Structure 1
Amino acid sequence: MIYSRILGTGSYLPPTVLSNATLAERVETSDEWIVSRTGIRERRIADPDQKTSDLALHAAEAAIASAGIDRNEIDLIIVATTTPDMVFPSVACLLQEKLGIHGGPAFDVQAVCAGFMYGLVTADAYIKAGLATKALVIGAEVLTRILDWEDRRTCVLFGDGAGAVILGASDTPGIRHAKLAADGRYKDILNTPAQISGGKIQGMPYLFMDGPAVFKFAVKALADIANKTLSEAGVAQSEVDWLVPHQANLRIIESTAKHLKLPMERVIVTLPEQGNTSAASIPLALDTAVRDGRIQRGQTVLLEGIGGGFAWGAVLLTY
């Protein structure tokens, strides 16, 4: 039987740092207010000339180097993003051209903060079906470009970045079990409703979030899908070495860890330095923990994330 395993990881953060103190000069807020409610201290902002595909390229090259493969071995590219370079073609196609590799399928997935989970599960299915042997899966966002910088409920939360993995065919299990879910009935509590029509933007072009409603939904949904994933895989909570959650809010992360009976020492948290980077947050956190030596080969890792849609998911894997 064919399985898929993560062969390498990579990430990229733009060089510009926006601290809470600097942000407080632009909007009525404070470092204490932001940290107490979110856990975030700073975030990265893409340069004006940087596009999502540029961030994705840096992360992809780092993952390729980590995996120790030739980029021409990649026969599938999936990019998870909600902030593409343009309406079309996809970021994945633009990235394929920048990498100088051609011919294999390349497409985007749009599940906002859960996008990387959706992309990873899709790539796993391709490999298990024999349709690909080495897949590049990326979460990349320039989410700060759809923020209203006068709305302190949202502008304090988000940052830009990209994270990537190389997923390869293997005769031993890497990705062991996964569950994805969505419920469009909750579309109104987190969205950016604008659309282009007749050459003009129609509707609000900024990210909107009903924070309390999102928090309430996310805590329950993440706990439920994490427990179902472990139960269906026959893995006890105590067997999980590391939880790599979507970096949305420290209180949500802590609540999920509590439901899983995992101490925070076994949870990868990059939120204070990066903010919520949407589809990029899980692969960014994963790469951080791999490179600093916390996550090691053979360990059991649980990834989980939730985003607008609502869409959410969990992936259990052996690294």
Structure 2
Amino acid sequence: MSLTTAPTSLLDLATYLPQKRVPADYFAQFAADDELIDSVMFRSPTFRHHAADGETSADMMVTAARRLTGRNGDGFLDDIDVVLTHSQLPEVPVRGCGGELAHRLGLRPQTVLDVHNGGCAAFIHMMDLAGNLLRATGGRKALLGLAQNSAAQVFTQEQVRGKAQAAIPGDGAAVAIVALDDDRGSQVLGLSCHSYGQYAGDMTGVSDPPRKYWEAGPGQIHIGFTEAKITKVLARGNRMVPEVAIEVADSIGIAPADLDWFVTNQPNRIFLRNWREALELPPERHPDTFDECGNLFAVGIPVTLDTAVDDGRVRPGDVVMMAAFAHAGDFAAAAAIRWGGRP
């Protein structure tokens, strides 16, 4: 549990969905004889967005950041001391895009860190890291950049697009600004992160014929789902997200059923239903972007929150619980904020 002396605040966030909107029919035409086609994990969303050819993680983050400064003014990024980025599929081996993002936005941060292991819970993980880094360094603001860019690049490959898993992901990006002890933003009321390393090996990349991802070969890499792994992931996910959300709700003295909003990652309809039922919340208090965006992985929480704010559902003073689990269950996190409105 993160115990803060100077409370962390989310000042604002902005998101980006690529223009290319892909219907489920695109994948249906390639549907192969996949033994997992009837799995509840892979019931297709109606739409998802695909990044354009050559559109990188940094490109999408910069577009989201321009929307942020368009609303708040160019000076909104003047005092960024920490830049954290998370990309689902780093374009260059080893390094991420944090340095490029900072350069393209004209920033001069003290700390640039590419966060690779937060998965679908990376937004919450990065909020936690940002607050701790700002407290440790005396920094003023942190910029968080997230991109999901594997839908168009991985799941439309000729050997992958016919698999049940291919129709689920979508592409998009988000940028958020975090500060300490700033009454302009949405204060973080409570936050918790948990690592479960015993499950880290259950999410694997595979190909046919088999090869390591860096080796040349004819097989195209995709996620190695099996019936046994799906059963484990469903059981873990059904348990982990409600558990960590209830933990944070208890820590701030709010009954889960009294939360104004519950914003989660968006992996599939079965998880969304089970999570809100576990917290005894009606569907209208659990915003859902799955049918429009598919699974956006780490970008799912900020896109869903941003959508609910933009359409007027989330209002100043509302308590928003964000929660997610990552990969096959090796990480889970939740954070509650009191929405303070746009700056």
TM-score over 0.5 for the pair: yes
Partner Cα distance (1:34, 1:61) in 2: 39
1:185 corresponds in structure 2 to 198
Distance 1:109-1:15 versus aligned 2 partners, 3 A rule? same
The equivalent of 1:19 in structure 2 is 23
Code of the residue aligned with 1:62 in structure 2: it is R
User: How many angstroms does 1:285 deviate by?
Assistant: 0.9
Q: Does 1:104 align with 2:117?
A: no
Q: Which residue of 2 aligns with 1:52?
A: 57
Deviation at 1:202, TM superposition (A): 11
Is the CA contact (8 Å cut-off) linking 2:14 and 2:65 kept in structure 1?
Answer: yes
Please show how residues 83-232 of structure 1 align to structure 2 within 5 Å.
Answer: 83-110=89-116, 111-129=118-136, 131-144=138-151, 145-147=153-155, 149-171=160-182, 174-192=187-205, 200=216, 205-209=221-225, 210-232=229-251
| Contact kept in structure 2, 1:7 and 1:166, CA below 8 Å | yes
Looking at structure 1, the residues matched to 55 and 213 of structure 2 have their Cα atoms a distance apart, in angstroms, of: 22
SS for the counterpart of 1:223 is: helix
Q: Could you tell me the TM-score, scaled by structure 2's length?
A: 0.84
Map Cα deviations across residues 198-218 of structure 1 (whole Å, 9 max, x no partner): x74799732233333212210
Q: 1:266 deviation in Å?
A: 0.5
Alignment length (residue pairs): 316
Alpha-carbon offset, residue 184 of structure 1: 2.4
Question: Partner of 1:217: helix, strand, or coil?
Answer: helix
Question: What amino acid is aligned across from residue 26 of structure 1 in structure 2?
Answer: F
1:236, 1:261 → 2: CA distance? 10
Question: Is residue 303 of structure 2 the alignment partner of residue 287 of structure 1?
Answer: no
Q: CA deviation at 1:195?
A: 5.2
How far apart, CA to CA, are the structure 1 residues paired with 2:94 and 2:147? 16
Query: 1:174 is paired with a residue of what secondary structure?
Result: strand
The alpha carbon displacement at 1:85 in A equals 2.2
Change (3 A) 1:222 1:103: closer
Moved more, 265-274 or 205-214: 205-214
Query: Contact 1:53 / 1:85 at 8 angstroms: preserved in 2?
Result: no
Task: Give the residue type in structure 2 aligned to 1:12.
Answer: Y
Deviations 1:132-184 (A, max 9, x none): 22111122111222335245231011111011211122255701111111222
Q: Which amino acid aligns with 2:332?
A: W
1:312 to 297, 311, 332: 332
SS at match of 1:9: strand
Alignment TM-score, normalising by the size of structure 1: 0.89
5+ residue gaps, structure 1: none
The equivalent of 1:246 in structure 2 is 265
1:9 — aligned with what?
Answer: 13
Unaligned runs of 5+ in 2: none
> Which stretch shifts more, 150-159 or 247-256?
150-159
CA distance in 1, matches of 2:92, 2:162: 25
1:74 counterpart (58, 73, 80): 80
Percent of residue pairs identical? 22
Deviations 1:108-129 (A, max 9, x none): 1122212222111111222344
